[in-house]
Structure 1
Amino acid sequence: MRRLEGRVAIVTGGGGGIGAAVARRLVAEGARVAIADLIEDSARRAAEPLGDMALAVQFDAAAPESVKALVERTVAHFGRLDILHNNAAMTDPVLQAQDTTAIDIPIEVWNTTMSINVTGYLLGCKYALPYMISAGAGSIINTASGSGVMGDLARIAYGSSKGAIIALTKYVATQYGQQGIRCNAIAPGVILTPALEATAPGLKEIIKRHVLTNRFGTPDDIAALVAFLASDESGYITGESIGINGGSLAHQPHYADLAAAMAGA
Protein backbone atom coordinates (compact mmCIF):
# COMPACT_ATOMS: atom_id res chain seq x y z
CA MET A 1 0.00 0.00 0.00
CA ARG A 2 1.11 3.57 -0.70
CA ARG A 3 -1.20 5.42 1.68
CA LEU A 4 1.27 8.26 2.32
CA GLU A 5 2.32 9.06 -1.23
CA GLY A 6 3.76 12.58 -1.48
CA ARG A 7 3.70 13.28 2.24
CA VAL A 8 6.58 14.29 4.49
CA ALA A 9 7.23 13.00 7.99
CA ILE A 10 9.57 13.58 10.89
CA VAL A 11 10.45 10.63 13.12
CA THR A 12 12.34 11.56 16.28
CA GLY A 13 14.37 8.92 18.03
CA GLY A 14 14.63 7.59 14.50
CA GLY A 15 17.96 5.89 14.99
CA GLY A 16 16.60 3.35 17.48
CA GLY A 17 14.86 0.07 16.77
CA ILE A 18 11.31 1.41 16.83
CA GLY A 19 12.10 4.73 15.16
CA ALA A 20 14.06 3.10 12.34
CA ALA A 21 11.24 0.61 11.73
CA VAL A 22 8.72 3.46 11.60
CA ALA A 23 10.88 5.36 9.11
CA ARG A 24 11.16 2.29 6.87
CA ARG A 25 7.41 1.71 6.95
CA LEU A 26 6.55 5.35 6.21
CA VAL A 27 8.91 5.33 3.22
CA ALA A 28 7.37 2.05 2.03
CA GLU A 29 4.00 3.82 2.19
CA GLY A 30 5.31 6.62 -0.04
CA ALA A 31 6.40 9.26 2.47
CA ARG A 32 9.70 11.09 2.59
CA VAL A 33 11.10 11.07 6.10
CA ALA A 34 13.46 13.13 8.23
CA ILE A 35 15.07 10.70 10.66
CA ALA A 36 16.13 12.66 13.74
CA ASP A 37 18.25 11.36 16.57
CA LEU A 38 20.56 12.68 19.26
CA ILE A 39 23.26 10.35 17.89
CA GLU A 40 24.01 11.45 14.34
CA ASP A 41 25.57 8.15 13.30
CA SER A 42 22.42 6.29 14.34
CA ALA A 43 20.26 8.61 12.24
CA ARG A 44 22.57 8.13 9.26
CA ARG A 45 22.55 4.35 9.56
CA ALA A 46 18.75 4.36 9.55
CA ALA A 47 18.53 6.83 6.64
CA GLU A 48 21.17 5.43 4.25
CA PRO A 49 19.21 2.35 3.07
CA LEU A 50 16.26 4.62 2.22
CA GLY A 51 18.18 6.76 -0.25
CA ASP A 52 16.69 10.09 -1.30
CA MET A 53 13.48 9.33 0.57
CA ALA A 54 15.19 9.95 3.91
CA LEU A 55 17.17 12.74 5.54
CA ALA A 56 19.32 12.16 8.64
CA VAL A 57 19.26 14.99 11.16
CA GLN A 58 21.08 15.25 14.47
CA PHE A 59 18.95 16.98 17.09
CA ASP A 60 18.42 17.32 20.83
CA ALA A 61 14.78 16.89 21.93
CA ALA A 62 15.37 18.93 25.08
CA ALA A 63 16.75 21.98 23.22
CA PRO A 64 14.10 24.30 21.75
CA GLU A 65 16.35 25.73 19.05
CA SER A 66 17.41 22.24 18.00
CA VAL A 67 13.81 21.07 17.61
CA LYS A 68 12.91 24.23 15.71
CA ALA A 69 15.90 23.72 13.41
CA LEU A 70 14.85 20.11 12.79
CA VAL A 71 11.41 21.18 11.62
CA GLU A 72 12.75 24.04 9.51
CA ARG A 73 15.40 21.85 7.87
CA THR A 74 12.81 19.20 7.06
CA VAL A 75 10.51 21.71 5.38
CA ALA A 76 13.41 23.34 3.53
CA HIS A 77 14.61 19.96 2.24
CA PHE A 78 11.29 18.30 1.38
CA GLY A 79 9.01 21.31 0.92
CA ARG A 80 6.29 20.48 3.43
CA LEU A 81 5.44 18.65 6.66
CA ASP A 82 2.45 16.36 7.09
CA ILE A 83 3.37 13.86 9.81
CA LEU A 84 5.22 14.13 13.11
CA HIS A 85 6.07 11.03 15.08
CA ASN A 86 7.36 12.18 18.48
CA ASN A 87 9.31 9.11 19.54
CA ALA A 88 12.51 10.36 21.20
CA ALA A 89 13.01 9.36 24.82
CA MET A 90 15.55 9.57 27.61
CA THR A 91 17.52 6.31 27.20
CA ASP A 92 20.74 6.97 29.12
CA PRO A 93 21.17 3.72 31.12
CA VAL A 94 22.97 5.50 33.96
CA LEU A 95 20.09 7.92 34.46
CA GLN A 96 17.48 5.22 33.91
CA ALA A 97 19.01 3.20 36.73
CA GLN A 98 18.43 6.16 39.05
CA ASP A 99 14.77 6.54 38.02
CA THR A 100 13.42 4.76 41.05
CA THR A 101 10.89 5.94 43.63
CA ALA A 102 9.45 9.25 44.80
CA ILE A 103 11.84 9.35 47.76
CA ASP A 104 14.99 8.13 46.10
CA ILE A 105 14.99 9.64 42.61
CA PRO A 106 17.48 12.48 42.13
CA ILE A 107 15.64 15.60 41.03
CA GLU A 108 18.03 16.07 38.12
CA VAL A 109 16.99 12.65 36.79
CA TRP A 110 13.32 13.65 37.05
CA ASN A 111 13.97 16.97 35.31
CA THR A 112 16.05 15.42 32.53
CA THR A 113 13.41 12.78 31.86
CA MET A 114 10.65 15.37 31.71
CA SER A 115 12.64 17.74 29.50
CA ILE A 116 13.24 15.04 26.88
CA ASN A 117 10.10 12.94 27.12
CA VAL A 118 7.51 15.68 27.63
CA THR A 119 8.93 19.09 26.79
CA GLY A 120 10.58 17.58 23.71
CA TYR A 121 7.18 16.42 22.46
CA LEU A 122 5.61 19.79 23.16
CA LEU A 123 8.41 21.46 21.21
CA GLY A 124 7.87 19.11 18.28
CA CYS A 125 4.19 20.05 18.23
CA LYS A 126 4.92 23.75 18.74
CA TYR A 127 7.15 24.03 15.70
CA ALA A 128 5.42 21.50 13.42
CA LEU A 129 1.85 22.70 13.92
CA PRO A 130 2.11 26.01 12.03
CA TYR A 131 3.21 24.19 8.85
CA MET A 132 0.43 21.63 9.22
CA ILE A 133 -2.20 24.26 9.92
CA SER A 134 -1.07 26.23 6.88
CA ALA A 135 -1.54 23.10 4.75
CA GLY A 136 -4.94 22.40 6.31
CA ALA A 137 -4.07 18.92 7.60
CA GLY A 138 -1.57 16.99 9.65
CA SER A 139 -1.15 13.95 11.86
CA ILE A 140 0.90 13.89 15.05
CA ILE A 141 1.61 10.54 16.70
CA ASN A 142 3.19 10.56 20.17
CA THR A 143 4.86 7.53 21.72
CA ALA A 144 3.47 7.05 25.22
CA SER A 145 3.51 3.75 27.13
CA GLY A 146 1.37 1.48 29.22
CA SER A 147 3.48 2.83 32.09
CA GLY A 148 1.61 6.11 31.64
CA VAL A 149 -1.63 4.57 32.95
CA MET A 150 -0.31 2.13 35.57
CA GLY A 151 1.87 2.40 38.64
CA ASP A 152 5.05 0.38 39.09
CA LEU A 153 7.76 -0.30 41.66
CA ALA A 154 10.32 1.93 39.91
CA ARG A 155 10.76 4.35 36.96
CA ILE A 156 8.50 7.00 38.44
CA ALA A 157 9.82 9.72 36.12
CA TYR A 158 9.43 7.58 33.01
CA GLY A 159 5.87 6.56 33.88
CA SER A 160 4.87 10.08 34.85
CA SER A 161 6.31 11.45 31.62
CA LYS A 162 4.32 8.96 29.58
CA GLY A 163 1.14 9.90 31.43
CA ALA A 164 1.86 13.53 30.62
CA ILE A 165 2.29 12.62 26.94
CA ILE A 166 -1.20 11.10 26.91
CA ALA A 167 -2.62 14.32 28.36
CA LEU A 168 -0.60 16.46 25.94
CA THR A 169 -2.01 14.41 23.07
CA LYS A 170 -5.58 15.17 24.10
CA TYR A 171 -4.88 18.88 24.47
CA VAL A 172 -3.27 19.17 21.04
CA ALA A 173 -6.12 17.21 19.47
CA THR A 174 -8.67 19.47 21.14
CA GLN A 175 -6.97 22.77 20.41
CA TYR A 176 -6.21 22.15 16.72
CA GLY A 177 -8.75 19.59 15.52
CA GLN A 178 -10.91 22.18 13.81
CA GLN A 179 -7.85 23.26 11.82
CA GLY A 180 -7.34 19.84 10.31
CA ILE A 181 -4.88 18.41 12.82
CA ARG A 182 -5.20 14.98 14.35
CA CYS A 183 -3.09 13.98 17.35
CA ASN A 184 -2.97 10.49 18.82
CA ALA A 185 -0.73 8.55 21.17
CA ILE A 186 0.41 4.96 21.00
CA ALA A 187 1.12 3.08 24.21
CA PRO A 188 3.44 0.12 23.58
CA GLY A 189 3.88 -2.76 25.96
CA VAL A 190 6.95 -4.99 25.71
CA ILE A 191 8.53 -4.54 22.29
CA LEU A 192 11.52 -6.73 21.48
CA THR A 193 14.47 -4.43 20.79
CA PRO A 194 18.16 -4.59 21.71
CA ALA A 195 17.57 -1.62 24.03
CA LEU A 196 15.05 -3.65 26.05
CA GLU A 197 17.53 -6.43 26.63
CA ALA A 198 20.24 -3.96 27.60
CA THR A 199 18.20 -1.92 30.08
CA ALA A 200 15.87 -4.56 31.51
CA PRO A 201 17.29 -8.08 31.18
CA GLY A 202 14.79 -10.71 32.23
CA LEU A 203 11.80 -8.35 32.01
CA LYS A 204 10.18 -10.08 29.05
CA GLU A 205 10.12 -13.43 30.86
CA ILE A 206 8.23 -11.85 33.77
CA ILE A 207 5.72 -10.09 31.52
CA LYS A 208 5.18 -13.02 29.14
CA ARG A 209 2.72 -14.60 31.59
CA HIS A 210 0.40 -11.63 31.14
CA VAL A 211 0.52 -11.31 27.34
CA LEU A 212 -2.54 -12.81 25.60
CA THR A 213 -0.99 -13.18 22.16
CA ASN A 214 1.43 -15.99 21.37
CA ARG A 215 4.33 -13.59 20.81
CA PHE A 216 5.78 -10.28 21.95
CA GLY A 217 5.56 -7.16 19.86
CA THR A 218 8.22 -6.04 17.42
CA PRO A 219 9.21 -2.62 16.09
CA ASP A 220 7.35 -3.49 12.88
CA ASP A 221 4.12 -3.77 14.87
CA ILE A 222 4.62 -0.22 16.12
CA ALA A 223 5.47 0.95 12.61
CA ALA A 224 2.25 -0.49 11.21
CA LEU A 225 0.17 1.38 13.79
CA VAL A 226 2.02 4.65 13.20
CA ALA A 227 1.50 4.33 9.44
CA PHE A 228 -2.22 3.77 9.97
CA LEU A 229 -2.53 6.79 12.26
CA ALA A 230 -0.59 8.89 9.77
CA SER A 231 -2.90 7.90 6.91
CA ASP A 232 -6.35 9.06 5.90
CA GLU A 233 -7.72 5.66 6.90
CA SER A 234 -7.63 6.87 10.52
CA GLY A 235 -9.23 10.19 9.65
CA TYR A 236 -11.93 9.91 12.34
CA ILE A 237 -9.50 9.02 15.14
CA THR A 238 -7.98 11.79 17.24
CA GLY A 239 -7.20 12.46 20.87
CA GLU A 240 -6.81 8.75 21.58
CA SER A 241 -4.16 6.69 23.31
CA ILE A 242 -4.03 3.31 21.60
CA GLY A 243 -2.50 0.40 23.45
CA ILE A 244 -0.30 -2.03 21.52
CA ASN A 245 0.62 -4.57 24.14
CA GLY A 246 -0.60 -8.04 23.22
CA GLY A 247 -3.61 -7.68 25.50
CA SER A 248 -1.53 -7.39 28.66
CA LEU A 249 -3.86 -4.72 30.04
CA ALA A 250 -7.08 -6.41 28.93
CA HIS A 251 -7.49 -8.78 31.87
CA GLN A 252 -7.80 -8.97 35.62
CA PRO A 253 -4.56 -8.50 37.61
CA HIS A 254 -4.73 -12.11 38.82
CA TYR A 255 -5.07 -13.57 35.30
CA ALA A 256 -1.60 -15.14 35.10
CA ASP A 257 -1.75 -16.67 38.56
CA LEU A 258 -5.24 -18.02 37.96
CA ALA A 259 -4.25 -19.50 34.58
CA ALA A 260 -1.24 -21.21 36.17
CA ALA A 261 -3.40 -22.60 38.98
CA MET A 262 -6.00 -23.92 36.55
CA ALA A 263 -3.32 -25.52 34.39
CA GLY A 264 -1.99 -27.35 37.43
CA ALA A 265 -5.37 -28.46 38.68
Structure 2
Amino acid sequence: MARLKDKVAVITGAGSGIGRSAAQLMSREGARVVVADHNSPAAEETAALIEAAGGRALPVTVDVTDEGSIADMINAATDEFGALHILCNHVGGTNPRTDLDLLRMDLDEFDRAVTLNVRSTLLGTRHAIPHMIRAGGGSIINTASVAALVGDVLQTSYGAVKAAVVSLTKSIATQYGPQNVRCNAIAPGAVMTPALANNLPTDVIEALKQGNALPYLGTPDDIGHTMVFLASDESRYLTGQLLVVDGGMTMQSSAAPGRRAMLPG
Protein backbone atom coordinates (compact mmCIF):
# COMPACT_ATOMS: atom_id res chain seq x y z
CA MET A 1 0.00 0.00 0.00
CA ALA A 2 1.51 3.35 -1.09
CA ARG A 3 -0.02 5.73 1.46
CA LEU A 4 2.20 8.62 0.36
CA LYS A 5 2.18 8.07 -3.40
CA ASP A 6 3.07 11.24 -5.34
CA LYS A 7 3.89 13.15 -2.14
CA VAL A 8 7.09 15.10 -1.53
CA ALA A 9 8.52 15.11 1.99
CA VAL A 10 11.27 17.17 3.61
CA ILE A 11 12.70 15.66 6.78
CA THR A 12 15.32 17.46 8.86
CA GLY A 13 17.68 15.41 10.99
CA ALA A 14 17.26 12.54 8.55
CA GLY A 15 20.89 11.45 8.64
CA SER A 16 20.37 9.04 11.53
CA GLY A 17 18.01 7.73 14.19
CA ILE A 18 14.35 8.68 14.05
CA GLY A 19 14.84 11.02 11.08
CA ARG A 20 16.46 8.28 9.00
CA SER A 21 13.68 5.87 9.93
CA ALA A 22 11.00 8.37 8.91
CA ALA A 23 12.75 9.02 5.59
CA GLN A 24 13.00 5.32 4.75
CA LEU A 25 9.45 4.52 5.84
CA MET A 26 7.95 7.43 3.92
CA SER A 27 9.87 6.38 0.83
CA ARG A 28 8.48 2.85 1.14
CA GLU A 29 5.02 4.41 1.16
CA GLY A 30 5.70 6.18 -2.14
CA ALA A 31 7.02 9.60 -1.09
CA ARG A 32 9.93 11.33 -2.74
CA VAL A 33 12.11 12.43 0.15
CA VAL A 34 14.49 15.30 0.78
CA VAL A 35 16.95 13.96 3.35
CA ALA A 36 18.20 17.03 5.22
CA ASP A 37 20.92 17.01 7.86
CA HIS A 38 23.85 19.15 9.00
CA ASN A 39 26.03 16.05 8.55
CA SER A 40 26.42 15.78 4.78
CA PRO A 41 27.83 12.22 4.69
CA ALA A 42 25.01 11.00 6.93
CA ALA A 43 22.38 12.60 4.69
CA GLU A 44 24.01 11.05 1.65
CA GLU A 45 24.05 7.65 3.33
CA THR A 46 20.34 7.81 4.14
CA ALA A 47 19.56 8.90 0.58
CA ALA A 48 21.68 6.05 -0.80
CA LEU A 49 19.78 3.54 1.33
CA ILE A 50 16.49 4.88 -0.04
CA GLU A 51 17.70 4.82 -3.63
CA ALA A 52 19.06 1.27 -3.20
CA ALA A 53 15.58 0.19 -2.07
CA GLY A 54 14.03 1.65 -5.22
CA GLY A 55 12.95 5.03 -3.87
CA ARG A 56 13.82 8.59 -4.80
CA ALA A 57 15.76 10.80 -2.40
CA LEU A 58 17.70 14.04 -2.46
CA PRO A 59 20.37 14.61 0.20
CA VAL A 60 20.61 18.22 1.37
CA THR A 61 22.99 19.77 3.86
CA VAL A 62 21.10 22.14 6.17
CA ASP A 63 21.88 24.34 9.15
CA VAL A 64 18.50 24.81 10.79
CA THR A 65 19.83 27.73 12.85
CA ASP A 66 20.26 29.71 9.63
CA GLU A 67 17.18 30.94 7.77
CA GLY A 68 18.97 31.09 4.42
CA SER A 69 19.95 27.45 4.73
CA ILE A 70 16.37 26.49 5.57
CA ALA A 71 15.08 28.43 2.55
CA ASP A 72 17.62 26.68 0.33
CA MET A 73 16.44 23.30 1.65
CA ILE A 74 12.80 24.01 0.83
CA ASN A 75 13.71 25.42 -2.58
CA ALA A 76 15.82 22.33 -3.33
CA ALA A 77 12.77 20.16 -2.63
CA THR A 78 10.47 22.06 -4.98
CA ASP A 79 13.14 22.48 -7.66
CA GLU A 80 13.89 18.74 -7.67
CA PHE A 81 10.41 17.29 -7.18
CA GLY A 82 8.06 20.11 -8.20
CA ALA A 83 6.01 20.41 -5.03
CA LEU A 84 5.98 20.03 -1.24
CA HIS A 85 3.38 18.16 0.79
CA ILE A 86 5.09 16.98 4.00
CA LEU A 87 7.54 18.68 6.37
CA CYS A 88 9.05 16.97 9.40
CA ASN A 89 10.74 19.53 11.66
CA HIS A 90 12.74 16.91 13.50
CA VAL A 91 16.04 18.59 14.39
CA GLY A 92 16.37 19.60 18.03
CA GLY A 93 18.23 18.89 21.22
CA THR A 94 20.20 20.43 24.04
CA ASN A 95 23.60 20.15 25.67
CA PRO A 96 23.12 18.11 28.87
CA ARG A 97 26.45 19.35 30.24
CA THR A 98 25.27 22.97 30.34
CA ASP A 99 21.45 22.66 30.39
CA LEU A 100 21.21 22.15 34.15
CA ASP A 101 18.86 23.32 36.90
CA LEU A 102 17.58 26.89 36.92
CA LEU A 103 20.36 28.39 39.03
CA ARG A 104 23.26 26.61 37.34
CA MET A 105 22.12 26.45 33.73
CA ASP A 106 24.06 28.31 31.05
CA LEU A 107 21.85 31.08 29.67
CA ASP A 108 23.69 30.93 26.36
CA GLU A 109 22.58 27.30 26.13
CA PHE A 110 18.99 28.42 26.66
CA ASP A 111 19.29 30.84 23.74
CA ARG A 112 20.87 28.11 21.62
CA ALA A 113 18.08 25.69 22.52
CA VAL A 114 15.44 28.23 21.49
CA THR A 115 17.16 28.70 18.13
CA LEU A 116 17.73 25.00 17.49
CA ASN A 117 14.29 23.75 18.56
CA VAL A 118 11.74 26.55 18.28
CA ARG A 119 13.07 29.05 15.76
CA SER A 120 14.05 26.25 13.36
CA THR A 121 10.54 24.80 13.55
CA LEU A 122 8.99 28.21 12.96
CA LEU A 123 11.25 29.03 10.01
CA GLY A 124 10.97 25.63 8.35
CA THR A 125 7.19 25.90 8.53
CA ARG A 126 7.18 29.52 7.37
CA HIS A 127 9.10 28.65 4.20
CA ALA A 128 7.13 25.44 3.54
CA ILE A 129 3.56 26.67 3.95
CA PRO A 130 3.28 28.72 0.71
CA HIS A 131 4.35 25.64 -1.28
CA MET A 132 1.87 23.44 0.59
CA ILE A 133 -0.95 25.87 -0.08
CA ARG A 134 -0.08 25.83 -3.80
CA ALA A 135 -0.14 22.02 -3.68
CA GLY A 136 -3.65 22.01 -2.19
CA GLY A 137 -2.58 21.29 1.38
CA GLY A 138 -0.02 19.44 3.41
CA SER A 139 1.06 17.96 6.70
CA ILE A 140 3.63 19.45 9.08
CA ILE A 141 5.01 17.18 11.78
CA ASN A 142 6.98 18.72 14.63
CA THR A 143 9.10 16.75 17.06
CA ALA A 144 8.47 17.76 20.65
CA SER A 145 9.33 15.57 23.66
CA VAL A 146 7.85 14.15 26.83
CA ALA A 147 10.13 16.75 28.47
CA ALA A 148 7.45 19.28 27.47
CA LEU A 149 4.94 17.52 29.73
CA VAL A 150 6.79 16.91 32.99
CA GLY A 151 9.22 18.71 35.25
CA ASP A 152 12.81 17.55 35.64
CA VAL A 153 15.78 18.27 37.89
CA LEU A 154 17.97 19.07 34.88
CA GLN A 155 17.58 20.14 31.21
CA THR A 156 15.45 23.13 32.12
CA SER A 157 15.89 24.69 28.68
CA TYR A 158 14.95 21.52 26.81
CA GLY A 159 11.60 21.11 28.56
CA ALA A 160 10.75 24.77 28.03
CA VAL A 161 11.60 24.88 24.33
CA LYS A 162 9.78 21.63 23.56
CA ALA A 163 6.69 23.02 25.31
CA ALA A 164 7.03 26.03 23.00
CA VAL A 165 7.10 23.66 20.00
CA VAL A 166 3.76 22.19 21.18
CA SER A 167 2.23 25.66 21.47
CA LEU A 168 3.60 26.68 18.07
CA THR A 169 2.08 23.53 16.57
CA LYS A 170 -1.38 24.55 17.74
CA SER A 171 -1.00 28.07 16.33
CA ILE A 172 0.13 26.76 12.94
CA ALA A 173 -2.79 24.32 12.84
CA THR A 174 -5.25 27.08 13.71
CA GLN A 175 -3.91 29.64 11.27
CA TYR A 176 -3.54 27.41 8.19
CA GLY A 177 -6.20 24.77 8.65
CA PRO A 178 -8.53 26.69 6.29
CA GLN A 179 -5.89 26.20 3.56
CA ASN A 180 -5.88 22.44 4.27
CA VAL A 181 -2.49 22.53 5.98
CA ARG A 182 -2.41 20.28 9.02
CA CYS A 183 0.16 20.51 11.81
CA ASN A 184 0.72 18.00 14.61
CA ALA A 185 3.51 17.20 17.03
CA ILE A 186 4.98 14.00 18.40
CA ALA A 187 6.39 13.66 21.90
CA PRO A 188 8.75 10.68 21.90
CA GLY A 189 9.74 9.06 25.15
CA ALA A 190 12.97 7.11 25.59
CA VAL A 191 13.89 5.72 22.18
CA MET A 192 16.90 3.50 21.47
CA THR A 193 18.56 5.76 18.95
CA PRO A 194 22.32 5.52 18.40
CA ALA A 195 22.70 8.73 20.43
CA LEU A 196 20.91 7.25 23.43
CA ALA A 197 22.64 3.89 23.23
CA ASN A 198 26.09 5.48 22.91
CA ASN A 199 25.73 8.16 25.58
CA LEU A 200 23.83 6.57 28.46
CA PRO A 201 25.15 3.86 30.81
CA THR A 202 23.41 0.50 30.80
CA ASP A 203 21.94 1.07 34.27
CA VAL A 204 20.36 4.35 33.17
CA ILE A 205 18.86 2.70 30.08
CA GLU A 206 17.47 -0.07 32.30
CA ALA A 207 15.95 2.54 34.63
CA LEU A 208 14.26 4.19 31.65
CA LYS A 209 12.85 0.83 30.64
CA GLN A 210 11.51 0.26 34.14
CA GLY A 211 9.73 3.60 33.94
CA ASN A 212 7.67 2.45 30.95
CA ALA A 213 4.34 0.69 31.16
CA LEU A 214 5.47 -1.49 28.25
CA PRO A 215 8.41 -3.84 28.92
CA TYR A 216 10.80 -2.29 26.38
CA LEU A 217 12.07 1.00 25.02
CA GLY A 218 10.96 2.31 21.67
CA THR A 219 12.92 2.10 18.44
CA PRO A 220 13.31 4.80 15.77
CA ASP A 221 10.76 2.94 13.65
CA ASP A 222 8.13 3.34 16.38
CA ILE A 223 8.33 7.11 15.93
CA GLY A 224 8.89 6.84 12.17
CA HIS A 225 5.65 4.88 11.72
CA THR A 226 3.80 7.56 13.69
CA MET A 227 5.23 10.20 11.38
CA VAL A 228 4.04 8.22 8.35
CA PHE A 229 0.54 8.10 9.85
CA LEU A 230 0.53 11.86 10.43
CA ALA A 231 1.82 12.47 6.91
CA SER A 232 -0.85 10.29 5.31
CA ASP A 233 -4.52 10.91 4.58
CA GLU A 234 -5.34 8.39 7.30
CA SER A 235 -4.90 11.29 9.73
CA ARG A 236 -6.68 13.86 7.53
CA TYR A 237 -9.03 14.91 10.38
CA LEU A 238 -6.24 15.24 12.93
CA THR A 239 -4.57 18.61 13.46
CA GLY A 240 -3.16 20.70 16.28
CA GLN A 241 -2.57 17.61 18.38
CA LEU A 242 0.32 16.21 20.41
CA LEU A 243 0.77 12.45 20.05
CA VAL A 244 2.70 11.07 23.02
CA VAL A 245 4.63 8.01 21.88
CA ASP A 246 6.45 6.94 25.02
CA GLY A 247 5.55 3.38 25.96
CA GLY A 248 3.35 4.68 28.77
CA MET A 249 6.16 6.52 30.57
CA THR A 250 4.23 9.70 31.31
CA MET A 251 0.75 8.26 31.83
CA GLN A 252 1.46 5.97 34.76
CA SER A 253 1.98 6.79 38.42
CA SER A 254 5.60 7.14 39.47
CA ALA A 255 4.85 4.49 42.07
CA ALA A 256 3.67 1.95 39.49
CA PRO A 257 7.05 0.28 38.78
CA GLY A 258 7.66 -0.34 42.48
CA ARG A 259 4.14 -1.61 43.09
CA ARG A 260 4.40 -3.87 40.05
CA ALA A 261 7.43 -5.51 41.64
CA MET A 262 5.31 -6.27 44.71
CA LEU A 263 2.74 -8.26 42.74
CA PRO A 264 2.76 -12.03 43.28
CA GLY A 265 4.13 -14.20 40.49
Normalising to structure 1: TM-score of the pair?
A: 0.95
Tell me, in whole angstroms, the C-alpha distance in 1 between the residues paired with 2:158 and 2:198: 17
Structure 2: runs of 5+ lacking an equivalent: none
Identify the residue that residue 121 of structure 2 maps to in structure 1: 121
Match of 1:222 in 2: 223
Q: Where does 1:16-55 land on structure 2 (aligned, <5 Å)?
A: 16-51=16-51, 53-55=56-58
On the 8 A contact 2:192/2:218 being kept in 1, the answer is: yes
Separation in 2, partners of 1:215, 1:96: 24
Farther off after superposition, 51-60 or 230-239: 51-60
- Distance in 2 (CA, whole Å) between partners of 1:56 and 1:135 is 22
What is the CA-CA distance between 1:155 and the residue it aligns to? 0.8
Deviation per CA, 1:58-84, whole angstroms, max 9, x where unpaired?
A: 010110111011001111011000000
**Large movers: runs of 4+ above 6 Å:** none
Residue 247 of structure 2 is aligned to residue 246 of structure 1? yes
Alpha-carbon offset, residue 263 of structure 1 = 4.7
Amino acid at match of 2:236: G
Provide the residue aligned with 1:58 in structure 2: 61
Distance 1:212 1:196 in 2: 19
1:231 aligns to what? 232
Which residue of the partner structure matches residue 148 of structure 1?
A: 148
For residues 159-190 of structure 1, the C-alpha deviation after alignment (integer angstroms, 9 at most, x for no partner) is 11111111110010001001101000001001
2:209–2:215 contact (8 Å) kept in structure 1: no
* Counterpart for residue 87 of structure 1: 90
Q: CA deviation at 1:34?
A: 0.4
Decide which moves more: 47-56 or 131-140: 47-56
Q: Tell me the C-alpha RMSD between the 2 structures.
A: 1.3
TM-score by length of 2: 0.95
Give the structure 2 partner of residue 260 of structure 1: 261
* Aligned residues with identical type, % of pairs: 39
Q: Distance in 2 between matches of 1:227 and 1:108?
A: 35
Q: Which amino acid aligns with 1:258?
A: R
Deviations 1:94-113 (A, max 9, x none): x3311111111111111111
**For residue 67 of structure 1, what is the aligned residue in structure 2?**
70
Write the letter of the residue equivalent to 2:26. L
**Structure 1 unpaired stretches of 5+:** none
Residues 11 and 88, structure 2, Cα contact 8 Å, conserved in 1: yes
Amino acid at match of 2:250: L
User: Residues 139-168 of structure 1: CA distance to partner in whole angstroms, max 9, x if unpaired?
Assistant: 000011101111111111111111111111
Deviation at residue 134 of structure 1 after TM alignment: 1.6
Quote the residue 1:4 is aligned against: 4
Number of equivalent positions: 261
CA distance in 2: counterparts of 1:241 and 1:253, whole angstroms: 22
Give the Cα separation in 2 of the matches to 1:228 and 1:246.
Answer: 18
